[in-house]
Amino acid sequence: MSKWLENNLKSLKEIPRYMIPSYFDVIITNVHRLAVAAACNLMSDFVRHGSNFARRLALGSVQCVSVCPSANLPKLSPNVADPKPPGHCATMAAGLPHFATGYMRCWGRDTFIAIRGLTLLTGRYDETRYMILGFGGCLRHGLIPNLLDGGQNARFNCRDAIWWWLYTVKQYAEEVPNGKSILKDKVSRLYPTDDSEAKAPGEADQMLYETIQEALTIHFQGLAYRERNAGTRIDAHMKEKGFNNRIGVNPDTGFVFGGNNANCGTWMDKMGSSDKAGNRGIPSTPRDGSAVELVGLQMAGLRFMQQMAEQKVIPVSSVERTSYNGTKTVWTYKEWANRIAANFDKEFYVDEASESSYINKRGIYKDTVGSEIPWTDYQLRCNFPIALLAAPELVDPKHAWRALENAKKYLLGPLGMKTLDYEDWGYRGNYDNSIDSDDKTVSHGANYHNGPEWVWPIGFYLRARLIFAKANGVLKETVAETWKILQTHLNELQRCHWRGLAELTNENGAYCKDSCRTQAWSMGCVLEVLYDLEKYEKEL
């Protein structure tokens, strides 16, 4: 391309200067048009033969997923199945321009939230497989890292990336031709034990299902650990307690739990940093206990593993833990999933019969169960639709529809979802990271997830509505409503100079100067809505 442009732009030096802009425009505009068409034609039928809207969203795959020498995946095992990976594998930029290169480019949570839309639905199956195996090789403490930084400098301070990763394995196995074979592909473990030194590629290989089994077993057993290099070297703001992490499973409900009120292990991960306001080291949204979306993703992962065991794809079907007195407890995947199913609606849904002084709205799903700050359990946030979509069997369809209608009333914005109910006392809808005041609710951007409207959750909200609209007999109306909502996103794609969907907006869709102008998970999650709409429209 560079040679072609060099040769074809030479002649511009020989024409009158007033004509140069016009000829330059003709050449560059057509090169751009052909490059976009060529990129889309390399993608899946869904994109190649899809609408202009779908193709614009699919270009997020080109924007955000590429080889970046300063942000590599860990080297994969030399024993992985064909096709073998290239010398440098593609990684995903969380967003542009803030997360383009270097150690800040690649995040486990962002990657596996965006990956289905940006690489599976676009037909980039090999890149998807390499990212699954690369992050799997970093497993430590039963967790997948959020900040990757090549694997050897990864931070294991998030509780959710492991469940998004497992959810991606499920989707890959179900949607890619011969996708189940990934479960027996080779994972090269960097840290085969929590205390081991980093291993070379191929030195500590295991099959992917064994990596998954280890993660599930560690959660089932329970684990408390302290982050390596705890202190200002890895986090300038966190208090000492925040570096102490724990994960486990409630033996009564089966729900995964973890964290404490001094850390923030889910995507709502804003840590206070203002001395003037007094919020340094205080997470705005700790979401400790059992976070609603993690329980939903956990359920989806367990049902998937149950099915793979029943189909004899994998040779394991249960997990085991040992108590302090040596007693062993075994749960099959099926038993574990059934326990979650028996308790989810009972524990998370807030109806007229629910009794608590912390209840401020009914007909909603709690955001967490068992938080150290108990009133935060009852806050209405945008996380529950993820659980409804990932594991619809968990809920009563009428309860789900009522909760989604309340989300529509209290959370839905023009482009994204409010991260907190606007009637909540803690709602602060406008994010400005430069504020340095004595107001601890907003200083240094403390309200990052306490009101501003994030774009990616709208994908899960709209897709969950389509599922439960069908169950409640209002699919036709909901499909029409969904298209109406998405018109705003199409307009934004056409208007935005970055040709993307932003990370977030301020109140009622207002511009946010501190947001990435194009964000991987925003593009990927909205593309998934278009994919589902195509499926549901065939049923009308």
- pLDDT over 90 at 322, yes or no: yes
Q: What is the pLDDT of residue 47?
A: 98
**Range 499-517 average pLDDT:** 98
Amino acid sitting at position 204: A
pLDDT at residue 8, as a whole number: 85
Q: Does the structure show a pLDDT above 90 at 1? A: no
- For the segment 486-496, the average pLDDT, to the nearest whole number, is 98
Q: At what angle do helices 108-115 and 161-175 cross, to 10 degrees?
A: 30
Residue-level pLDDT at 16: 92
Q: Is the pLDDT of residue 11 over 90?
A: no
Q: How far is CA 503 from the centre of its chain?
A: 12
pLDDT of residue 128: 99
Average pLDDT value for the chain = 97
SS3 166: helix
Provide the pairing of β-strand 205-207 with 186-188: antiparallel
CA separation for the pair 186, 184 (Å, rounded): 6
Average pLDDT of span 133-138: 98
Per-residue model confidence (pLDDT) at position 53 = 98
Q: What is the pLDDT of residue 13?
A: 86
DSSP-derived secondary structure letter, 315: S
User: What does each C-alpha distance from 322 to 30, 217, 276, 488 come to in angstroms?
Assistant: 66, 11, 47, 53
Radius of gyration over every alpha carbon of the chain, rounded to an integer in angstroms: 24
Contact in structure between 391 and 352 (CB atoms under 8 Å)? no
| Average confidence (pLDDT) over 231-239 | 95
Q: In terms of DSSP bridges, do strands 349-350 and 453-454 run parallel, antiparallel, or are they unpaired?
A: unpaired
Asked if 487 and 495 touch (Cβ cutoff 8 Å), the reply is no
pLDDT for 152 equals 86
State whether residue 45 is helix, strand or coil.
helix
Residue 114 CA to residue 150 CA, distance in Å, equals 19
Amino acid at 161: A
Q: HSE (CB half, 13 Å, CA atoms) of 338?
A: 6
Structure-block tokens of residue 180? 């189940």
Between 504 and 87, the more confident residue is 504
Residue 56: pLDDT band by 50, 70, 90 thresholds? very high
As a whole-number percent, the residues of the chain with pLDDT over 90 amount to 96
Q: What is the pLDDT of residue 177?
A: 98
Q: Is the pLDDT of residue 240 over 90?
A: yes
pLDDT value for 295:
99
Give pLDDT tens digits for 144-196: 999 999 988 999 999 999 999 999 999 999 999 999 999 999 999 999 999 99
Give me 517's structure tokens.
């102008």
Domains of the chain: 43-539 (1.50.10.10)
Take residue 67 and report the two structure tokens written for it: 């080889």
* pLDDT tens figures, 467-482: 999 999 999 999 999 9
Residue 86, sorted as left (phi over 0), alpha (psi -120 to 50) or beta, turns out to be: beta
- In this structure, which long-range contacts are made by residues 152-158, counting pairs with CB atoms below 8 Å and at least 24 apart in sequence? 152/74, 152/190, 152/198, 153/103, 155/227, 155/234, 156/227, 156/228, 156/245, 157/227, 157/235, 157/245, 157/263, 157/265, 158/108, 158/109, 158/265, 158/266, 158/269
Predicted confidence (pLDDT) per residue in 345-360, tens digit: 999 999 999 999 999 9
State CA 157 to chain mean position distance: 15
Burial class (CB in 10 A: 0-12, 13-18, 19+), 228: middle
Task: Annotate 321-388 with DSSP letters as a single string.
Answer: EE-TTS-EEEEEHHHHHHHHHHHHHHHHEE-TT---TT---SSEE-SEES-SSGGGGG---TTHHHHH
- The Cα-based distances of 1 to 32, 63, 130, 487, 501 in angstroms read 11, 18, 28, 35, 28
Q: What's the Cα-to-Cα distance from 243 to each of 349, 413, 447, rounded to whole Å?
A: 32, 35, 22
Q: How far apart are CA 349 and CA 123, in angstroms?
A: 38
Maximum C-alpha span of the chain: 89
